[in-house]
Structure 1
Amino acid sequence: MQYADLRSKSILCLGMGWFPQSPGGLNRYVYELIQSLTSQHNLVEYCGISIPKTSSVTGLQLTNLAAGDRSLPQRLWSVHQQFAQRQFVRPDAINLHFALYSLPILRQLPADVPVTFTFHGPWALESQQEGASQMAINLKHWIESRVFRRCDHFIVLSKAFGKILHEEYAIPWERIHIIPGGVDTHHFQANLTRQQARAKLGWSSDRFIVFTPRRLVHRMGLDKLLTAVAEVRQSYPDIWLAIAGKGPLKDDLERQVSELDLKHHVQLLGFVPDADLPIAYQAADLTIMPSQSLEGFGLVLVESLACGTPAVCTPIGGMPDVIGNLSPQLITADREASTIAQTLKAILAAEVPLPTREACRDYARQHFEWAAIAPQVRQVLLAEHQPHFTKKS
């Protein structure tokens, strides 16, 4: 790929919010992707909800489509209107990241510009697992399917999500491209000793600390992790679990901590600012992702490794692809609490060796650095326009 070609391309991205004001895996991914694309001499226009009017990043233009505090119908109408009024350069490629906000602009997309959808997860299936009504599930699936029919190519972060895209939405495999997520290794770095990081956070200097930043929802598996910690502490009373994040299960998890008598072994930290996340990763002996379903990649694992801290995961979705080549023993045999406990006890007993700080950091940089990931994404975005497919009934 020639340098002059890199300078000549304009890419339009449509996402959700603006990171870090609006936290979350999708927003972080899009934010870091567009930063990487502009650093590699592309012109990027980012359209989203409640985003700033201007950016200090050279080559990045921002278009705010709606205010996030408006009702959903008002938001969608605003997206339609504001997108029609945008006055930036005609793009060479379009990259959509969220079906809901993509729907109102479908008819406005140039017919001869390739459209790529980055599939961060099955919106309808996730809602189903969180107990949404059947009507809401059906509507979300219809929105996703309608948007997908307009797209030429699809990017997934793992083969597991490629399989969902193919089986649940009938997307042909030849239009699905597997490109892992990237990590900002300048932000997530190993610049503190474990004791320095713990001192900054006020964490104990002499306990075995396990860290997990998670949305407090059912599919994240936090209830099973608490059950596992209750078992582990019988043999290893120095274990301490720090859970970062917000969500609807907060009260249930606090109740479970009390019922299992874990108040000296578990702390729910609430929301942890992005600036403090690298410190928390470095303060921990281990990061864990006990996900039960629909974990397409596991960005937390990569962030932890970039900070020099090894990570354990359940064998769900794309997570084994992240950890497997570094230390397959850190993938639990299944997703049950007893198995998670067994893995933690094996680590504490030194039966399962943990990768060194340097090995974790080097692995993250070698496989997930944005400098290598962003050009792969760009290549797919600029791939030739395809005739739109029709989903089989």
Structure 2
Amino acid sequence: MRIVYIYDAVYPFIKGGVERRVYEIGKRLAKKHDVYWFGLNWGEGSPDGIEFYGVGRWKNLYKNGKRSIGEAIYFALKLLLKFKGKYDIVDCQQFPYFPCFSAKFHSMIRDIPLVITWHEVWNEYWKEYLGNLAIFGLQVERKMSKITENNISVSRLTQRRLYSIGVHSEVIPNGIDFKRIQNVSKKDEEYDIIFVGRLIREKNVDLLLKAVRMVREDIPDLKVLIIGEGPEKERLVKLASILDLSDNVKFLGFLKDHDEVISYLKSSKVFVLPSKREGFGIVVLEANASGLPVITLDYPMNASKELIIHGYNGFVSSPTPDHLAKYIEISLSNRKKFRRNCTKNARRYDWNIIAKLTEKFYERVLSKR
């Protein structure tokens, strides 16, 4: 097959969950198929085994902590003008919406089946994200949901939300490189609690800090590591100081080397992901593969809670500091019990398995022609 992926952000220049999925699946399929990627130019070179086409340049994906609408429109227009080549199938990532319409145009005029991979369905979240312009975002999402019958959801939550607007999809989750994680060595310095993620409001790290203050009453020398950058960092550092946690909490910043992130996970005891909204949560699986139980929160738009079997490989907590603190203490006192369960759960999501599921999905789409 000649497979083409469409997504503006390109791994390894940008290291988010969507671009990581395209990269990991694409490089595995490239061993048997011809794989291409249309995106924006972020640096020199191409992802492993994938032929890359950059259709333009843009400085920042984010503006004021949110995805730039201007960038999304720019990429869609550039894609419309510069898409080229003959392919058997096109897989366009659903976000940031506008490029999917460009992909649909080329799919129609070139008679190529179009697949949309859905990472989230926002529905009512548009009100929080765009305020008075929410109806615009909602209409774009609804119209885009009808452009193909070939839809992949990365989580059951996304599948259910698509079904609620009349769209059928097949779940093919994100994954991890299980073997590579096992080969990474841990750091010398140990931490009790670790968080990895972008420091934005929806990650809800302030609730974690409030829970940490409660846990510290029983564990005075508690050590917490927060890895990541974002517009909330300054506020969170101040909050840690106000809560008298400066000696307990370390803000490490963004790490370019992903193996170093894994190394810090392996040197920690519990991973906490307090997000209000997650399209999947690859880092949950990476933490499990590193032997860590994961605690996440019971929010309606948090798909990462689907990766947790409560009491087996972690906990799904009520979104309050006291409940989160309770599960942190339980996890810290039962590390050996969780370790085997966590690695067993994570093994099921190896990227090699996910790539094969994706390949079979493409073959079924082509067989319908």
With the length of structure 1 as denominator, give the TM-score of the two structures: 0.81
Query: What residue number does 1:152 align with?
Result: 149
2:90 aligned to which of 75, 86, 94: 94
Contact 1:187 1:278 in 2 (8 A): no
1:360 counterpart = 2:342: yes
Distance in 2 between residues matched to 1:153 and 1:286, nearest whole Å: 38
What SS does the aligned partner of 1:338 have?
helix
Describe the shift of the 1:115–1:231 C-alpha distance in structure 2 as closer, same or farther (beyond 3 A).
same
2:243 aligned to which of 240, 253, 260: 260
1:178 aligned to which of 168, 171, 174: 171
What SS does the aligned partner of 1:262 have?
coil
**Which whole-Å deviations, capped at 9, do the CAs of 1:248-288 have from their partners, x for residues lacking one?**
22222122111110001112222122242111111111211
Identity, in percent, stands at 21
What SS does the aligned partner of 2:9 have?
coil
Describe the shift of the 1:126–1:35 C-alpha distance in structure 2 as closer, same or farther (beyond 3 A).
farther
Query: What residue number does 1:3 align with?
Result: none
**Which whole-Å deviations, capped at 9, do the CAs of 1:93-128 have from their partners, x for residues lacking one?**
111112133234432223643212111123575554
Superposed, which structure 2 residues align to 1:224-303 within 5 Å?
A: 224-273=207-256, 274-292=258-276, 294-303=277-286
Describe the shift of the 1:54–1:220 C-alpha distance in structure 2 as closer, same or farther (beyond 3 A).
closer
Query: What residue number does 2:55 align with?
Result: 65
Query: What residue number does 2:37 align with?
Result: 46
Contact 1:188 1:307 in 2 (8 A): yes
Query: What residue number does 2:357 align with?
Result: 376
Q: Where in structure 2 are there 5+ consecutive unaligned residues?
A: 61-67
Query: What residue number does 2:139 align with?
Result: 142
Superposed, which structure 2 residues align to 1:5-24 within 5 Å?
A: 9-24=1-16
Displacement of 1:79 in angstroms is 4.4
Describe the shift of the 1:84–1:186 C-alpha distance in structure 2 as closer, same or farther (beyond 3 A).
farther
**Which whole-Å deviations, capped at 9, do the CAs of 1:168-208 have from their partners, x for residues lacking one?**
xx133xx211122111224433532xxxx333xxx3x5xx5
Contact 1:114 1:386 in 2 (8 A): no
Distance in 1 between residues matched to 2:173 and 2:199, nearest whole Å: 24
Letter in 1 for 2:357: Q
Query: What residue number does 1:215 align with?
Result: 198
With the length of structure 2 as denominator, give the TM-score of the two structures: 0.86
Distance in 1 between residues matched to 2:5 and 2:47, nearest whole Å: 17
Displacement of 1:385 in angstroms is 7.2
Letter in 2 for 1:20: P
Contact 2:73 2:99 in 1 (8 A): yes
Q: Where in structure 1 are there 5+ consecutive unaligned residues?
A: 1-8, 388-393
What SS does the aligned partner of 2:265 have?
helix
2:105 aligned to which of 103, 107, 117: 107
Query: What residue number does 1:5 align with?
Result: none
What SS does the aligned partner of 2:187 have?
helix
Describe the shift of the 1:360–1:347 C-alpha distance in structure 2 as closer, same or farther (beyond 3 A).
closer
**Which whole-Å deviations, capped at 9, do the CAs of 1:5-62 have from their partners, x for residues lacking one?**
xxxx1111101211121121112122112112213x121111111255753744x211
**Which whole-Å deviations, capped at 9, do the CAs of 1:69-99 have from their partners, x for residues lacking one?**
28965874564345544443x2221111121
- Report the more deviating stretch, 260-269 or 72-81: 72-81
Distance in 2 between residues matched to 1:171 and 1:84, nearest whole Å: 31
- Report the more deviating stretch, 229-238 or 16-25: 16-25
More relative contact order, 1 or 2 (CA 8 Å, 6+ apart):
1
Query: What residue number does 1:6 align with?
Result: none
Displacement of 1:222 in angstroms is 0.9
Describe the shift of the 1:324–1:378 C-alpha distance in structure 2 as closer, same or farther (beyond 3 A).
same
2:187 aligned to which of 187, 198, 204: 198
Distance in 1 between residues matched to 2:199 and 2:124, nearest whole Å: 17
- Report the more deviating stretch, 281-290 or 139-148: 139-148
Contact 1:209 1:239 in 2 (8 A): yes
- Report the more deviating stretch, 239-248 or 316-325: 316-325
What SS does the aligned partner of 2:117 have?
strand
Distance in 2 between residues matched to 1:81 and 1:227, nearest whole Å: 45
Distance in 1 between residues matched to 2:124 and 2:359, nearest whole Å: 28
Displacement of 1:308 in angstroms is 2.9
